[in-house]
Amino acid sequence: MNNFEPRIVAFLCSWCSYAGADKAGSSRKTYPQNINIIRVMCSGRVDPQFVLEAFKEGADGVLILGCHPGDCHYKEGNYNILRRYHFLKKVLMELGIEEGRFKLDWVSSTEDDKFVTIVSEMVKNVKSLGPLRNEALI
Amino acid sequence: MIKPKVAFCWEASCGGCEEAVLDLNEDILKVIEAVDIVFWPIALDFKYADIENMNDNEIDVSFISGAIRLNEQEETVRLLRKKSKLIIAFGSCAHLGGIPALANFWDRESILKKVYREAPSVINPEGKEPQVKTKTASGELELPEFYDTVKALNQVIDVDYYLPGCPPSPDLIMQTITAILENNLPPKGSVIGPAKTLCENCSRKDSKPDIMTLKEIKRPHEVIIDPEKCFLAQGLICLGPATRSGCGERCIKANMPCRGCFGPTDNVIDQGSKFLSALASIVDFNDEEEIKKVVDSVADMTGTFYRFTLASSLIKRKRRLK
């Protein structure tokens, strides 16, 4: 299983986290290339159906990054995803999808190092969990 | 005039849908006058062979209730598909997987173990479990194969129309039969019923506060339910915001919250996650610990949000950790 390279779908809010990821790139920081970034206007835009669809289409993990609480460009979008995240995480766990495969965190536009740390840790965790196989999904 | 040929068949179902046909009361006489019933295992003595001997597309409409969990059921519906011009998925189980699909939290092995060995009322010292093939002195006996995963009808055969509900309401059944007889059907693949959610027509709509919030989720047995007030405003889980209307609000009128049997509206794939979104958005906390407390207080969250739709949801079943 050592050569397993997980595929992780990452939903990044346009205002903070995507800018943070951009900064990591322009400052030539390195991070695992297992993440497929999808830019959304707000972390609060992430419908639980997007997350389920990602798992259905073969993602081994899903990461959502938004602005820090209190910093949302739309005032409270990140609180919406915070609430939704905890409900959805429970549903996923009841369906046998481990906690480590679904993460929510906050990254501001200056936190390029934090972005690198979160992505690296997530990739490491999902690697140790192994591939998400669910034949019913296919 | 030749009467249209109609078949009724049940697969993994409780029989409530068949009961719903009888609930047409006097109207059933009109139906029987208008059609020729060629197959109806619960009420009439036809055999599978009678269907096999028919020409392809000879049956005008087959109403199939129940989910698919045995290979016998799969064979039956494939046969009916071949012999029928129209297939109507009748009721929640055929439409979405329904209650039988809650078995998708387990698999064949764990279900058979529980039912034939572990259940408190079972006496089975030899640990016998049903086998597909059994050799006896008089020859080999065969039982249908029990599947790991329960499926909705459209995951096995092509379905023309869906009649939602657990069971479908008599009004909706009559409306469908009339539409078929008058050749006035909606486009293929339609779910017969309004496109709006239950909340849109709910008799308790006016009692809904302008800004709905809740700090605590309660279960129906824990509170005395106000018979006029919106259930969600009382802190009770009601799937109305994520469920198709058209049921006639039978549960609401009996002072019980909606359980979601009519399934999602047209533009939604995954009813459970849509309800999850709706519920999460009215939880009145921004603090993570408080949110977690509310989440932890919901018993059997997935079973509640996906009570009728697990088989047709995006994830479909609990993952097997092997």
- Whether the CB of A132 is below 8 Å from some CB of chain B: the reply is yes
Mean local confidence (pLDDT), A76-81: 96
Q: Do residue B281 and residue B156 come from a single domain?
A: no
Residue B160 covered by a domain: yes
pLDDT tens column, A49-62: 999 999 999 999 99
Verify that B34 and B68 share a domain, yes or no.
yes
Structure tokens at B149: 């995963």
3-state SS track over chain B: CCCCEEEEEECECCCHHHHHHHCCCCHHHHHHHHCEEEECCCCCCCCHHHHHCCCCCCEEEEEEECEEEEHHHHHHHHHHHHHEEEEEEECHHHHHCCHHHHHHHCCHHHHHHHHHHHCCCCCCCCCCCCCCEEEECCEEEECCCEEEEEECHHHCCCCCEEECCCCCCHHHHHHHHHHHHCCCCCCCCCECCCCCEHHHHCCCHHHCCCCCCECCCECHHHCCCCCCCCCHHHCECCCHHHCECCCCCHHHHCCCCCCCCCCCCCCCCCHHHHHHHHHHHHECCCCHHHHHHHHHHCCCHHHHHCCCCCCCCCCCCCCCCC
Residues of A in contact with B314 (CB under 8 A): 49, 52-53, 55-56
CB-CB: which of A52, A79, A87 is closest to B295?
A: A87
Q: What is the mean pLDDT of residues B169-175?
A: 89
For residues B73 and B162, state if they share a domain.
yes
In a domain, B279, yes or no: yes
B115 and B242, same structural domain? no
Residue B150 φ then ψ, to 5°? -80, 140
Per-residue pLDDT, A138: 43
Domain span at B87: 5-99+150-181
Closest CA to A7 of A58, A51, A79: A58
B116, amino acid identity = Y
B310 domain residue, yes or no = no
Judge: A48–B149 Cβ closer than 8 Å, yes or no: no
For range B292-313, the mean pLDDT: 97
Task: Tell me, yes or no, whether B94 and B113 share the same domain.
Answer: no
State the pLDDT at residue A109: 96
Contact with chain B for residue A136, Cβ under 8 A? yes
Beta carbons of B280 and A80 less than 8 angstroms apart: yes
- In this prediction, residues B145-170 reach a mean pLDDT of 96
For residue A2, what pLDDT band results from cuts at 50, 70 and 90?
low
On whether both B170 and B24 belong to a single domain, the answer is: yes
Quick: pLDDT tens for A18-52.
999 999 999 999 999 999 999 999 999 999 999 99
Domain tally, chain B:
3
Is the residue at B313 inside a domain? no
Whether chain B has a CB inside 8 Å of the CB on A82: the answer is yes
Share of chain A above pLDDT 70, in %: 95
CA A51, A56, A57, A63 dihedral sign is positive
Q: Is residue B175 part of a domain?
A: yes
Q: Per-residue confidence at A3, pLDDT binned at 50, 70, 90?
A: confident
- What's the gap in Å between the CA of A28 and the closest CA on chain B? 34
The pLDDT assigned to A133 comes to 75
- Report pLDDT digits (tens) over B82-122: 999 999 999 999 999 999 999 999 999 999 999 999 999 99
CB contact B305 to A (< 8 Å): yes
Q: Give domain status of residue B320, yes or no.
A: no
